[in-house]
Amino acid sequence: MTGEELEPILRLEGLTLRYGALTAVDHVDLSIREGARHALIGPNGAGKSSLFSVVAGAVRATEGRVILGGKDISSLNESGRARVGLVRTFQHSSLFLGVSVLDNVRLAVERAHGRPKRPWPMPRTDRVITEKAMSHLGAVGLVDRCNALCGALSHGERRQLEVAMVLACDPRLVLFDEPTAGMSAAETQRFSELVESLPAEITTVVVEHDLDVVFRLADRVSVLAAGRLIADGSPDEVRADAAVKEAYLGKPRSAEPLFGGIS
């Protein structure tokens, strides 16, 4: 069975989000195969973050369905979707800045496994949680920073920490919302390498303005414009698509590929 024949891990059916007369997401149908490295791009105001919010469960769709692994999860809120393996990161870090890097990940492990903070110690359980947390920190290259306060981390390191916390949730699919926004070139390089190193069984979907990052990471690209899906295909297909050129440039340009300097 080829990758294209695999059952999609995520399927969107007629997904629509309206705010009164404004349609932010307009009947989007999309399938994403398991293990894909998928990117969602589009000009400013295209509806990318709105679509992510609906898929993640932060906002309830006006119409349509979100199906994860063959199960309709449309009725689940954000926490419920995280428990079944769909996890989202945000444009702005959401971390506990006043506690250590390790404790941030320990809290994520406890929450993911239904182990609330206890008023009394349980040495064996605490040791297992710490070991899991350190393993996730190792995966993102932050073991040496485990005892540092989260607030002392650089912007790029905070993004790395967020990935460790995502891994603590045992995700099946991760939505990365503008992950490299505000990063330096070196931080962007490290973050791209980190995403590339994620286990093959974890599906990733990235909303990203940095098209160098998009075409480095993605094996498939979907394009939104005015809330509608206007293209979905390989990076080369998307570069050459006339509708994509018109959405980005304001008029069709068929002579040269869009994003021609990106490989």
Tens of pLDDT, residue by residue over 158-182, are 989 999 998 988 899 999 988 888 8
- Residues of the chain above pLDDT 90, percent: 61
Give the model's pLDDT for residue 209: 87
Q: Percentage helix, strand, coil, to 5, in the chain? A: 40, 25, 40
Give the model's pLDDT for residue 260: 46
Same domain, 154 and 180: no
Which of 122, 153, 170 represents a domain boundary (last residue)?
170
Model pTM?
Answer: 0.83
Same domain, 26 and 65: yes
Same domain, 114 and 184: no
Give the pLDDT of the chain (263 residues) as one tens digit per residue. 444 456 799 999 999 999 999 999 999 999 999 999 999 999 888 999 999 999 999 999 999 999 999 999 999 999 899 889 999 886 556 788 899 999 999 988 887 765 555 555 556 667 888 999 999 999 999 999 999 999 999 988 998 999 999 898 889 999 998 888 888 999 999 999 999 999 999 999 999 888 899 999 999 999 999 999 999 999 999 988 988 888 876 665 554 445 544 43
Q: Which residues have CB under 8 Å from 209's CB, separation 6+?
A: 41, 178, 181
- What is the distance, to the nearest Å, from the Cα of residue 257 to the centroid of all Cα atoms in its chain? 27
The CATH number of residue 240's host domain is 3.40.50.300
Q: Which residues have CB under 8 Å from 195's CB, separation 6+?
A: 37, 163, 176, 179, 204, 206, 217
By the 8 A CB rule, do 128 and 163 touch?
Answer: no
Give the model's pLDDT for residue 247: 83
C-alpha triplet 205, 211, 216: angle, nearest 5°: 65
Same domain, 241 and 195: yes
Same domain, 66 and 194: yes
Give the model's pLDDT for residue 3: 43
Give the model's pLDDT for residue 19: 93
By the 8 A CB rule, do 131 and 162 touch?
Answer: no
Same domain, 179 and 257: yes
Which of 170, 199, 234 represents a domain boundary (last residue)?
170
Same domain, 181 and 70: yes
Same domain, 189 and 163: no
Q: What are phi and psi of 132, to 5 degrees?
A: -65, -45
Domain count, the chain: 2
Same domain, 203 and 248: yes
Q: Which residues have CB under 8 Å from 112's CB, separation 6+?
A: 82, 168, 169, 170
Give the model's pLDDT for residue 125: 67
- Domain of residue 80: give its range: 1-85+173-263
- In the structure encoding, which two tokens stand for residue 233, read together? 């295909």
Same domain, 164 and 179: no
Give the model's pLDDT for residue 171: 92
Cα torsion angle, 94, 126, 113, 170, sign: positive
Largest Cα–Cα distance of the chain, in whole Å?
69
Same domain, 72 and 121: no
Q: Which residues have CB under 8 Å from 53's CB, separation 6+?
A: 17, 59
Give the model's pLDDT for residue 6: 62
Which of 143, 170, 197 represents a domain boundary (last residue)?
170
Residue 114: Cβ-neighbour burial (10 angstroms; 0-12, 13-18, 19+): exposed
Same domain, 197 and 156: no
Q: What are phi and psi of 48, to 5 degrees?
A: -65, -50
242 beta partners: none
By the 8 A CB rule, do 80 and 73 touch?
Answer: yes
Three-state secondary-structure class, residue 48: helix
Task: Give the end-to-end CA distance of the chain in Å, rounded to a whole number.
Answer: 28
